[in-house]
Amino acid sequence: MEEKIIRKHVNILGVKIISSSKEGVLREVQSSFKSSSKYNIVTPNPEQILMAQDDLQFKDILNSANMAIPDGIGLVAAAKFNSLPRPENLITRYFVLFVQGLGIGFSTLFDRSWLESELKLIKGREIFIELIKLANKKGWKVVLVGDKYLSAQKAAKKLKLNFIKLEIVGFSGPDLDENGMPFSKKDSELEKKVVQKINKEKPDLLFIGFRAPVQEKWLYRWYKNLDFKCSMVVGGTFDYTSGKKPLPPGWVDDLNLEWLWRLVNKDQKIKRISRAFPEFAWKVFWNKLVKSS
């Protein structure tokens, strides 16, 4: 008997995030294939939620997706923090929320099950691989679109080695500005060719690997003109898939210290990490402190 798909969302600073499991996400994607409608997955993290506070178009795009998965432990922590009691008295509220925040911080290291009781961490790169496995099993056609450094082509080649039956192809997309628009006439011409290639392939799964918010805005702009069944934005996943960038060890994931691992390995700038903490954490704290009852 097919398990019923449960739809629940949490709201984090105005962005709706799906509360589900990795298995639930995969079931819902498979279920969407029975419909004639397109399906779109976005992968917000704390930095992107902050972007959406100033970029209302980006926020609308995230909220218009069929599924927004929590791709960052900061979102899991925020959801749990927001679910805890909020005292009416302002002075009492400040101290209670401060203690709650400390508890959330400790739980990221010592009590993952409690932390994830409201929202489970679902990493985009893991969903990507699980969807690739499904495509290999079910004979789905896959298209990857990445940057000019051939990230999509390299990832497609590596995946083809690991999944013999996989029908997959990778394309390089144009250089895009922050609004997802081509930088030059040459990029504009390349953009049209990429759209034509995608529509010629008619993929079951379409993965876009630029950067946020560029990838989301580009896909949103072309969404109605693209022929596919399910799309997903994947950021730098192609580089991890191809082996260009190493994946963090399992113990790093278990301790939720991927941000530190990336910093040490010079895979992430400290400015970007500071957006996730403390900036995002403070924004969530302040929002709960001052919001209307």
pLDDT digits (tens, 9 = 90+) for 273-293: 667 778 999 999 999 999 854
32-85: per-residue pLDDT in tens? 998 888 999 999 999 999 999 999 999 999 999 999 999 999 999 999 999 999
Q: Which residues contact 96 (CB under 8 A, 6 or more apart)?
A: 85, 86, 87
- How large a percentage of the chain has pLDDT more than 70? 90
Closest CA to 34 of 125, 138, 130, 133: 138
What does the pLDDT look like over 97-111, one tens digit per residue?
Answer: 999 999 999 998 889
Is 193's pLDDT higher than 60? Answer: yes
DSSP for 244-275, please give it. SSPPPPHHHHHTT-HHHHHHHTTSS-HHHHHI
pLDDT at 293: 44
- The predicted structure's pLDDT at residue 205: 98
Other beta carbons within 10 Å of 74:
25
Say if residue 211's pLDDT is above 70.
Answer: yes
pLDDT above 90: percentage of residues in the chain:
79
265 pLDDT more than 50: yes
Mean confidence (pLDDT) of the chain: 91
Q: What is the pLDDT of residue 138?
A: 95
Q: Which residue has the higher pLDDT, 23 or 262?
A: 23
Which of residues 34 and 197 earns the better pLDDT score? 197
Average pLDDT over residues 121-147: 96
The pLDDT of residue 279: 92
How confident is the model at residue 276, as a pLDDT? Answer: 72
Rounded-to-10 torsion of CA 246, 247, 249, 252:
120
pLDDT category at 267 given cuts 50, 70, 90 is low
Token output for 155: 């990832």
Q: Which of 2-11, 13-22, 242-251 has the lowest mean pLDDT?
A: 2-11
Q: Are strands 15-18 and 9-12 parallel, antiparallel or unpaired?
A: antiparallel
Q: What's the confidence (pLDDT) of residue 280?
A: 94
**How much is the pLDDT for 3?**
45
Return the pLDDT at 277. 74
- pLDDT tens track for 226-263: 999 999 999 999 999 998 888 787 776 776 667 666 76
Name the DSSP class of 182: B
pLDDT at residue 270 tops 70: no
